[in-house]
Amino acid sequence: MKKTLANIYILIIMLFLYLPIIALIVLSFNESKSMAVFTRFSLKWYEELFQSELMMRALINTFSIAIISALIATVVGTLAVLGMNSMRTKSQNALMAFNNIPLLNADIVTGIALMLFMLILKIPRGYGTILFSHATFCIPYVILSVKPRVNKRTDKLYEAALDLGATGKYAFRKVVLPELWPGIMSGFMLSFTMSVDDFIITYFTRGAGINTIATLIYSQVKVGIRPSLFALSTIIFIVALVVLVIINIRQSKADKDNKMAFNL
């Protein structure tokens, strides 16, 4: 009885989270442009999507910005965690407080701050400024994912490897890095996701003439969003679903293998 209630609760929350997504997927196959009635199944919005240079360019911008900024954030963030590990606790705490600012700050304030900074320095806004801004709000995610993994245990492992005759670089690559890897990967994935989903910061730091999927959607809100954007999002969503399922299956398999190894 208790179990059934619990499962019903999970179901309700899931329905709440996924209902709008289901609605959008259904509408992307709707022949009419109306959002209220489903007239007939049609793939015409998918056709329009692939013929629209505007949307294809927004797609490329969104994903190239997400990949590059997540990579930058991952490298800068991981190095920062290693460097901070050698600092006094006081300096670490101070840096972590600054690290949390972009995370806790309102997106609108972060966006406006970055925009004003660019205006004062007369930096022309465009692809580069979006990239810089995205890396800025992604670095905290990487640091928070990697930091718990660098601890006394990894320090000891590293020292043990050195005692056994490994060089510093070799010990890091073979002993420490595999320990950090899950944190680094989840930091990267989080950064990538946040970058793709961001609208507000992009909105303030982009120049005229450059669009991501989010800014393109926002520009159409008042006039009515073209269903081809639903089609685009449906494709992205399905691809993400497949990729994440594969990662999940592989990870749980790896976890099982690890446990087996320990039992031996």
Residue list 2-61, contact with other proteins (CB under 8 A): 6-7, 9-10, 13-14, 16-21, 23-24, 27, 35-37
Q: Which helix (H) or strand (E) holds 155?
A: helix 152-163
Answer yes or no: are the C-beta atoms of 177 and 79 closer than 8 Å: no
Round to whole Å and give the CA distance between 234 and 109.
31
> Which token pair is 150?
């660098």
Say whether residue 208 binds other proteins (CB under 8 A): no
Say whether residue 115 binds other proteins (CB under 8 A): yes
Minimum gap (Å) between residue 44 Cβ and other proteins: 19
- The alpha carbon torsion through 67, 43, 34, 54 (nearest 10 deg) reads 40
Tell me how many residues contact other proteins (CB under 8 A).
Answer: 94
Spatial CA neighbour of 70 closest among 118, 15, 141, 126: 141
| Residue among 43 and 114 whose Cβ is closer to other proteins | 114
Minimum gap (Å) between residue 43 Cβ and other proteins: 19
Residue of 67, 68, 71, 82 interacting with other proteins (CB under 8 A): 82
x/- string (CB under 8 A) for other proteins, residues 152-191? ---x--xx------------------------------x-
x/- string (CB under 8 A) for other proteins, residues 211-250? --xx--xx--x---x---xx--x--xx--xx--x---x--
Say whether residue 93 binds other proteins (CB under 8 A): yes
Minimum gap (Å) between residue 46 Cβ and other proteins: 16
> Which token pair is 218?
């926002």
Round to whole Å and give the CA distance between 255 and 221.
45
Say whether residue 113 binds other proteins (CB under 8 A): yes
The SS3 of residue 41 is strand
Say whether residue 83 binds other proteins (CB under 8 A): yes
Half-sphere exposure of 26 (CA within 13 A, CB side): 12
Residue of 33, 39, 44, 197 interacting with other proteins (CB under 8 A): 197
Round to whole Å and give the CA distance between 94 and 100.
10
Residue of 39, 51, 85, 151 interacting with other proteins (CB under 8 A): 85
Say whether residue 145 binds other proteins (CB under 8 A): yes
Round to whole Å and give the CA distance between 136 and 47.
36
> Which token pair is 161?
């490897």
Interface region with other proteins, contact rule CB under 8 A, candidates 47-55, 123-131, 194-202 = 194-202
